[in-house]
Amino acid sequence: MIDKIFVYEKILPLIEEKGRMIDVLLIQNLFENKEQEIIDELRKYQNEDLGFGNALEPDLRMPNSSVVATNIAVSILDEIKDVSLKEPILKDIVTYYESIYNEELGRFLMTTKEVDNYPHAVWWNYADLEKNFPFGNPDPEVIGFLYQNRKYVQKLSLNHLINKVITYIRSDEFIQGGMHSLMSVISFNNRVDKDVQNLIHERIHDVVDFEITNGLGKWDEYGLEPYKIYLMDRHFTENHQKELEENLSFNKKKVESLTVQPNWKWYQYEEEFDKIKSDWTGYLYFSLIKALRHHRG
């Protein structure tokens, strides 16, 4: 457990000085209701096309809307329990996702070509986008969101899209997809009905087992740490309690020593990355504090 006094006296001032207000509010919301403030702050990242951009995903600095930034907005909205507060934005996001669906490819592409006009991590280079981000990431996550909010869907065939995700999960491509595809699929699983979950649950367990085992001892590197799966759906870590305990202990030390920071590089625009690392720090603290509180709670 991370003590509230420590969070408010040590961590929040650090983020308030160098980080983002949205992350300050998310952390505060773990201890007191800041839902309206979070909604108000999140709106600042929204564009006229109803999607989200403006570096809400800190590794992508363009102001234009993107699927990846909008997915982060969705994850932030998951922290809001009062549905009436977030419903207008949920409806906006459905409209945005429907508007940018690529009919030719049958895909939701992570970002647009404008990404190359602004500093960004190497994996966001537009020329390599389809290679770096195949169907497993982000399509299952987006399709799950659309299904959960299907009362607002007007254009897309959800049955067709759901079946595409099920087919993907049953394929070898999912086994080889890596951390982000797995997390996208878990997000999908969390948003669909039991009859769909029953078709994919065992398959997800198998990939979780593989990825957690594959990532042991590499927590200083960028990869799938058990706490990330735990935050999404603790049932998928039931067979990995030892690894989860060790991972949380490892990260608790970083939180208590105030040494949480991104453990990856952009491999381009390095000076810019050094300037914006603090944009990630607050969100990383939020995720770790939430995991530590939930695990002991």
Question: Which residue range is the domain that position 45 belongs to?
Answer: 36-247
pTM, entire model:
0.95
The C-alpha angle 248, 57, 273, rounded to 5 degrees, equals 85
Cα–chain-centroid distance for residue 254? Answer: 21
- For 97-110, the pLDDT digits (tens) are 999 999 999 999 99
- For 250-285, the pLDDT digits (tens) are 999 999 999 999 999 999 999 999 999 999 999 999
Closest CA to 16 of 297, 287, 281: 281
Q: Is 130 domain-assigned?
A: yes
178 versus 59: which is more confidently predicted? 59
Are residues 10 and 4 in contact, defined by beta-carbon separation less than 8 angstroms?
no
User: Does residue 113 surpass a pLDDT of 90?
Assistant: yes
Given the structure tokens 């997915």, which residue do they identify? 71
Q: Is 194 domain-assigned?
A: yes
d(CA 66, CA 283): 19
pLDDT for residue 217: 62
pLDDT for residue 159: 95
294 versus 111: which is more confidently predicted? 111
Q: Is 200 domain-assigned?
A: yes
pLDDT for residue 219: 83
Q: Is 6 domain-assigned?
A: no
- For 215-245, the pLDDT digits (tens) are 766 788 888 899 999 999 999 999 899 999 9
Q: Is 154 domain-assigned?
A: yes
- For 20-55, the pLDDT digits (tens) are 999 999 999 999 999 999 999 999 999 999 999 999
Strand partners, 107: 102
Are residues 93 and 145 in contact, defined by beta-carbon separation less than 8 angstroms?
yes
pLDDT for residue 224: 87
Q: Is 53 domain-assigned?
A: yes
Q: Is 222 domain-assigned?
A: yes
pLDDT for residue 130: 86
Given the structure tokens 């190359």, which residue do they identify? 116
Q: Is 65 domain-assigned?
A: yes
> What's the whole-number average pLDDT of the chain?
95
Domain count, the chain: 1
